[in-house]
Amino acid sequence: MAILSVRDLRAYYRTEAYGISRTVHAVDGVSFDLHPDEIYGVAGESSCGKSTLIKVISGNVKPPLKAYSGSVEYDNGLQKVDMLTISPEEMRRNIRWKEISYVMQGSMSVLNPVRKIIKTFEDIVESHRGIQDKKVFREQVEAHINRLGLPTDVLNAYPHQLSGGMRQRVAIALATMFQPRLIIADEPTTALDVVVQRGVLQMLKEIQAESKNTVLLVTHDMAVHANVADRVMIMYAGRIVEEAPTKTIFKSPLHPYTKHLISSLPMIGVRTTKTSLRGSPPNLANPPSGCRFHPRCPLAMEVCRTEIPEMVDVESRHRVACHLVKGGAL
Ligand SMILES: Nc1ncnc2c1ncn2[C@@H]1O[C@H](COP(=O)(O)OP(=O)(O)O)[C@@H](O)[C@H]1O
Ligand code: SF4
Ligand SMILES: [Mg+2]
């Protein structure tokens, strides 16, 4: 059973400047499922559409972004929710924090700079069910943050009094307080140094192992996926090019772009052929025809320029969109 099903999703930014309209094809025909009790990684270089994908699946679509086609269905086993048509009111009342919560790169976006941390916890509860007893609630929050290894006194601090790593841990504590089934994290550790990053990721991993919920982890950093994700999806220019269990992605990547990502990682004990990548990421206002990777692909053929490669299952949980894979050459 999938907790979230995304089918053939297309979401574009349509902007108008000096009488010229521009359409950025940020998410263009994306399909995947998230399952209970897994950490699913979304990888791909900057501007490939990762954050846009998250905005759409979490019901945060605002102009100039618009979902043009496809579907996003959240299914908690009791109710199905169409995430493309859900109202902000329904989202606030029934879904956010309790069913789906997010952790963003800049934790300040969720923490109010002029309010103590405990107040942010209180504000969230007030917004969907109200607090019966403040003292009891504070005890619950204390128990929760202590379980995550955070000291009680962070609750009395203002966000600016905490380090970046500590703020990000608080953001994760907030996102997990009400035991949501799905936690979406967009580059949660990108701004942090490596040691702090490791601690924050460990915390996220432990929470998932304990609560058995689903984590959708977006980061361009393949090393993070290697350490944390159960499955990984690779995006390139608004499309999925490969998806597989993490071990498979790192040990036997098939798509030339995935191979490039893996081979540029310094990893001990993993042997891959180095592929050099020419050119730069495509402009999504005018994406290349056929396979969007073709201008940079060292193996591109004539067909790659004209035909979009379809997604092919190479094994039960490994799928790839490349003409060479479909033809059996890779
Ligand atoms: N508000 C916006 N208006 C127009 N284009 C945007 C906007 N936000 C993002 N984009 C464009 O959409 C594409 C995907 O961006 P994004 O989803 O942020 O990628 P990623 O998270 O992978 O770095 C990029 O080309 C980016 O420039
Ligand atoms: S479809 Fe063609 S251009 Fe695209 S990755 Fe495969 S070989 Fe390269
Ligand atoms: Mg992003």
* 2-24 pLDDT per residue, tens: 999 999 999 999 999 899 999 99
Whether the pLDDT of residue 269 is over 70: the answer is: no
Give the closest residue (by CA) to ligand 1 atom 24: 47
Q: How high is the pLDDT of residue 44?
A: 96
Whether the pLDDT of residue 330 is over 90: the answer is: no
Give the count of beta carbons closer than 10 Å to the beta carbon of residue 287: 15
User: CA of 111: how far to CAs of 173, 175, 287, in Å?
Assistant: 12, 11, 37
Among 236, 304, 312, say which to mutate for ligand 2: greatest number of ligand atoms within 8 Å of CB. Answer: 304
Does residue 308 have its Cβ closer than 6 Å to ligand 2? no
Q: What is the pLDDT of residues 113-141, one digit of tens each?
A: 999 999 999 988 887 777 778 899 999 99
**For the chain, percent of residues with pLDDT exceeding 70:** 96
pLDDT category at 279 given cuts 50, 70, 90 is confident
3-state secondary structure of 148: coil
Contacts of residue 135, defined as CB under 8 A and 6 or more positions apart, other chains included, come to: none
Residue 200 amino acid letter: V
3-state secondary structure of 183: strand
pLDDT category at 92 given cuts 50, 70, 90 is confident
Structure-block tokens of residue 27: 């998410």
Please state the atom number of ligand 2 nearest to the C-alpha of residue 257.
5
pLDDT category at 273 given cuts 50, 70, 90 is low
Q: How many Å lie between the centroid of ligand 3 and the Cα of residue 64? A: 16
Mean pLDDT calculated for residue range 27-36: 98
Give the count of beta carbons closer than 10 Å to the beta carbon of residue 229: 24
CA angle centred on 63, ends 281 and 108, rounded to 5°:
80
pLDDT category at 268 given cuts 50, 70, 90 is low
Q: Which residues line ligand 1 (CB under 6 A)?
A: 13, 15, 24, 26, 44, 46-52, 64, 284
pTM assigned to the model: 0.94
3-state secondary structure of 50: helix
Pairing of strands 239-245, 231-236: antiparallel
Residue reference for tokens 């859900």: 86
Residue reference for tokens 């701004």: 191
**For the chain, percent of residues with pLDDT exceeding 90:** 75
Higher pLDDT, 102 or 68: 68
Mean pLDDT calculated for residue range 194-205: 89
Mean pLDDT calculated for residue range 313-328: 92
3-state secondary structure of 145: helix
Q: How high is the pLDDT of residue 276?
A: 62
Q: Indicate the average pLDDT of the chain.
A: 92
pLDDT category at 271 given cuts 50, 70, 90 is low
User: CA of 200: how far to CAs of 148, 171, 190, 298, 324, in Å?
Assistant: 10, 10, 11, 37, 39
3-state secondary structure of 186: strand
3-state secondary structure of 114: coil
Whether the pLDDT of residue 105 is over 80: the answer is: no
Q: How high is the pLDDT of residue 101?
A: 94
Q: How high is the pLDDT of residue 72?
A: 98
Question: Residue 143 class from Cβ within 10 Å (0-12 exposed, 13-18 middle, 19+ buried)?
Answer: exposed
Quickly list DSSP for 306-326.
Answer: HSPPPEEEEETTEEEE-HHHH
Report how far residue 135's alpha carbon sits from residue 121's, in angstroms, rounded to the nearest whole number.
13
Give the closest residue (by CA) to ligand 1 atom 4: 13
Which numbered ligand comes closest to the C-alpha of 105? 3
Q: How many Å lie between the centroid of ligand 1 and the Cα of residue 202? A: 29
Mean pLDDT calculated for residue range 302-326: 96
Whether the pLDDT of residue 193 is over 70: the answer is: yes
Q: How high is the pLDDT of residue 147?
A: 85
CA angle centred on 42, ends 52 and 248, rounded to 5°:
155
Q: What is the pLDDT of residues 50-89, one digit of tens each?
A: 999 999 999 889 999 999 999 999 999 999 999 999 999 9
Which numbered ligand comes closest to the C-alpha of 322? 2
* β-strand partners of 122: none
Q: How many Å lie between the centroid of ligand 2 and the Cα of residue 288? A: 12
Structure-block tokens of residue 28: 């263009």
Q: How high is the pLDDT of residue 311?
A: 97
Does residue 322 have its Cβ closer than 6 Å to ligand 2? yes
Pairing of strands 4-17, 39-43: unpaired
CB 73 within 8 A of CB 4: yes
